Chains A and B, each alone.
Chain A
Amino acid sequence: MAASKITSRSTIISLLIGAVFVVLLGARINSLENYTFARVVQDFLNALTLGSLYALIALGYTMVYGIIRLINFAHGEIFMLGSYFAFYAMTLTPLPWAISLLVTIILGGTVLLVLRSLFNLEEPKRTFALSLIIFGGTFFLLTFRKLGWVEGLTLSMLATGVAGVLLEAIAYKPLRGAPRESMLITAIAASFFLQNFGQLVFGARVRGFNAQTILNKPLNFHIGPETVYFTGILVVVPLITALLLWVLNLFVSRTRLGKAMRATAQDAEVAQMMGVNVNQVIALTFFIGSILAAAAGVMYAIRFGQIHPLMGLMPGIKAFTAAVIGGIGSLPGAVLGGLLLGFIEIYVVSLFPTLSAYKDVFAFVLLILILLFRPSGLVGEDLTEKV
């Protein structure tokens, strides 16, 4: 009784706050004389792109939290790894065949082992077909020509997914059953480790990310006298995000392993009683979360044109904020929160140019408000313990 009263009161309060914001924004847009239709289009495209990227990263946070109640602070670094993998795939190719062979064996072997354990591919025939595709495909891609962004994105998603599984196996798995604080501290340590590992191995300097890719070619167009600064990436990001969300939704709602994942998130012990291998489900969750983070990392790098080993920090924190705002543990919540943050960030700068230095403050103020008035997030479930 009491709980439902509090929930409904906080719903009303958040609705009121939302309404006040909408009215303020409307008034602001009305008072800006130079807010033309071209700027409406431009702001919307920019916000949708940024929001999609945040949403993709936020999904990884929320999925891992849903399964093992861990805030994986190293998730931002996974995002960073994704962009570096694509960077190397696109700049170092074509490799001399001997080196390519070596890379294929090491990389392909790891990928194969991880995929086999994730998807129960014990059957010899399937294993053989899979290894043929992985080894052949990797060797073929790396040896013959310079890779474009599509191949770079695909390879990076696969490699980063495997990196996420390894992170879980090395850093978190030995702590299964330990107090949650230990895992949290370990996550922070893993984050610092990967940042410094990145500076050591990739170099600490900022690198330009393939500015010549077709997605960055200016395709500006005019609406009346105004110019909309348009590039392919502004369409590709929302489209690829929508595609990945569709596939993710299909996987989670239709497949056997996807259902096992949902069951584990709802009640891990009973899922185990049904015969679900919880270790497998956890590894799979890291795999999928890291794949999505890698997609975001590569597209982020194309959009903003540069990468460096600390680049995961800010998007990581923003996406985590997005996941909490949406309701941590909820997949639609993460997407909603990510889009919301993207829109806030772009529209604050556009509508209040004098406040643009404070653009990040707004996201975190929203976080505080949500935590105060609706701690379970916008679409999250009640946090009250069930009896």
Chain B
Amino acid sequence: MPEPLLELKNVSAYYGPIRALSNVNMELYPGEMVCLLGGNASGKSTTLKTILGLVQVGEGEVYFRGERIDPKPTSYRIERGMAVVPENRRIFPKMTVRENLEMGAYLRNDPKGIREDMEYVFSLFPRLEERLNQMGGTMSGGEQQMLAMGRALMSRPKLILMDEPSMGLAPKLVETIFKIIKTVNDRGITVFVVEQNANIALSIADRGYVLQTGEVVLQGNARDLLNNEAMRKAYLGEV
């Protein structure tokens, strides 16, 4: 087995006295696409925030590219190769598409590489090139999702964390978005996607974890999870 790109070891996290994550163990290997499933308030977003350093680890350790990062600030983790597509997209509404993309490359200092990556983003999302000087806030939900993904790609990341990319989008658009996620993953970028829509997430992911009240209750290959009895009952909408 190669060394994991990201590893969570016995991680617990707290909001005041409330325990949001308990003893979570996860590994992501380079080039994988892994999804994190679970209902409301199961700790999915907290897991992402813990990986990013927006929520402090209570107990346990987080490793990224072989280095212990849980004491490090968010900006350091971004610099080492993480990127986020946050929940609800959260693009900068009063910045243009171009400025939003530039913010994605905030920590980079290689104008040539930045230009190349912007071209790559345009090849994935031609719509963004058409709207280059439009304010982010005036775009449709689908376009904003594309912008948020483009913005994440602009840091030339090793690992992209995605929080509910399907939220609030029409089914057809969700399909398109996931197709593009797959394309990005095929390029060698590791993808960690948090989803409520278990069907579509498992249909393209390699592996999955299922969270319930802050604990990992199931994990395994995407295909096994899709066929798992308990899983089907709880998350795939079968009675």
Beyond contacts A266-B92, A275-B78, A277-B73: 4 other A-B pairs, Cβ-Cβ < 8 A, are A256-B106, A259-B99, A262-B94, A272-B74
In the bound complex, residues from chain A placing their C-beta under 8 Å from that of B92 are 262-263, 266-267, 270-271
Q: A273 contacts which of B54, B94, B95 (Cβ < 8 Å)? A: B54
In the bound complex, residues from chain B placing their C-beta under 8 Å from that of A273 are 52, 54, 74, 78, 84, 86
Q: Tell yes or no: B221 within 8 A of A by CB.
A: no
Q: Tell yes or no: B102 within 8 A of A by CB.
A: yes
In the bound complex, residues from chain A placing their C-beta under 8 Å from that of B103 are 259-260, 263, 271, 274, 276
Question: CB within 8 Å of A: which residues of B?
Answer: 52, 54, 73-75, 78-79, 84, 86, 90, 92-95, 99, 102-104, 106-107, 151, 155
Known: A274-B78, A276-B106. A266 touches B95 (CB 8 A): yes
Residues of A in contact (CB 8 Å), total 17
Q: B95 contacts which of A262, A269, A272, A386 (Cβ < 8 Å)? A: A262
Interface SS of chain A: helix
Q: B107 contacts which of A259, A263, A270, A275 (Cβ < 8 Å)? A: A275
CA distance A99 to B54 in the complex (A): 48
CA distance A147 to B218 in the complex (A): 74
- For the complex formed, measure the closest distance between the CB of B67 and the CB atoms of chain A, giving whole angstroms: 17
- For the complex formed, measure the closest distance between the CB of A278 and the CB atoms of chain B, giving whole angstroms: 9
CA distance A277 to B77 in the complex (A): 12
CB interface residues, A 356-387, toward B, < 8 Å: 386
Closest A residue by C-beta to B109: A256
CA distance A273 to B88 in the complex (A): 14
- For the complex formed, measure the closest distance between the CB of A64 and the CB atoms of chain B, giving whole angstroms: 18
In the bound complex, residues from chain B placing their C-beta under 8 Å from that of A267 are 90, 92
In the bound complex, residues from chain B placing their C-beta under 8 Å from that of A270 are 86, 90, 92
In the bound complex, residues from chain B placing their C-beta under 8 Å from that of A263 are 92, 95, 103
In the bound complex, residues from chain A placing their C-beta under 8 Å from that of B155 are 274-275
Known: A260-B106, A270-B90. A275 touches B74 (CB 8 A): yes
Closest A residue by C-beta to B168: A387
CA distance A24 to B171 in the complex (A): 59
In the bound complex, residues from chain B placing their C-beta under 8 Å from that of A256 are 106
In the bound complex, residues from chain A placing their C-beta under 8 Å from that of B54 are 269, 272-273
Q: Which 8 A-B pairs have the closest CB atoms?
A: A275-B78, A275-B107, A275-B75, A273-B84, A274-B106, A270-B90, A266-B92, A274-B103
In the bound complex, residues from chain A placing their C-beta under 8 Å from that of B74 are 272-273, 275
CA distance A297 to B123 in the complex (A): 53
CB interface residues, A 263-320, toward B, < 8 Å: 263, 266-267, 269-277
- For the complex formed, measure the closest distance between the CB of A274 and the CB atoms of chain B, giving whole angstroms: 5
CA distance A266 to B94 in the complex (A): 7
- For the complex formed, measure the closest distance between the CB of B197 and the CB atoms of chain A, giving whole angstroms: 20
Known: A256-B106, A259-B99, A263-B103. A275 touches B79 (CB 8 A): yes
In the bound complex, residues from chain B placing their C-beta under 8 Å from that of A266 are 92-95
Determine whether the beta carbon of A272 is less than 8 Å from that of B75: yes
- For the complex formed, measure the closest distance between the CB of B149 and the CB atoms of chain A, giving whole angstroms: 13
Looking at A256, A259, A262, A274, which has the most chain B CB atoms within 10 Å of its CB?
A274
Closest A residue by C-beta to B91: A270
- For the complex formed, measure the closest distance between the CB of A284 and the CB atoms of chain B, giving whole angstroms: 14
In the bound complex, residues from chain A placing their C-beta under 8 Å from that of B106 are 256, 260, 274-276
Give per-residue flags for A81-105: 1 if the beta carbon is below 8 A from chain B beta carbons, else 0: 0000000000000000000000000
CA distance A277 to B106 in the complex (A): 10
In the bound complex, residues from chain B placing their C-beta under 8 Å from that of A274 are 78, 103-104, 106-107, 151, 155
CA distance A206 to B73 in the complex (A): 48
CA distance A273 to B102 in the complex (A): 13
Looking at A256, A260, A266, which has the most chain B CB atoms within 10 Å of its CB?
A266
- For the complex formed, measure the closest distance between the CB of A322 and the CB atoms of chain B, giving whole angstroms: 22
Closest A residue by C-beta to B99: A259
Can you list 30 A-B contacts (CB < 8 A)?
Answer: A256-B106, A259-B99, A259-B102, A259-B103, A260-B106, A262-B95, A263-B95, A266-B93, A266-B95, A269-B54, A270-B90, A270-B92, A271-B92, A271-B103, A272-B74, A273-B52, A273-B78, A273-B84, A273-B86, A274-B106, A274-B107, A275-B74, A275-B78, A275-B79, A275-B106, A275-B107, A276-B75, A276-B103, A277-B75, A386-B93
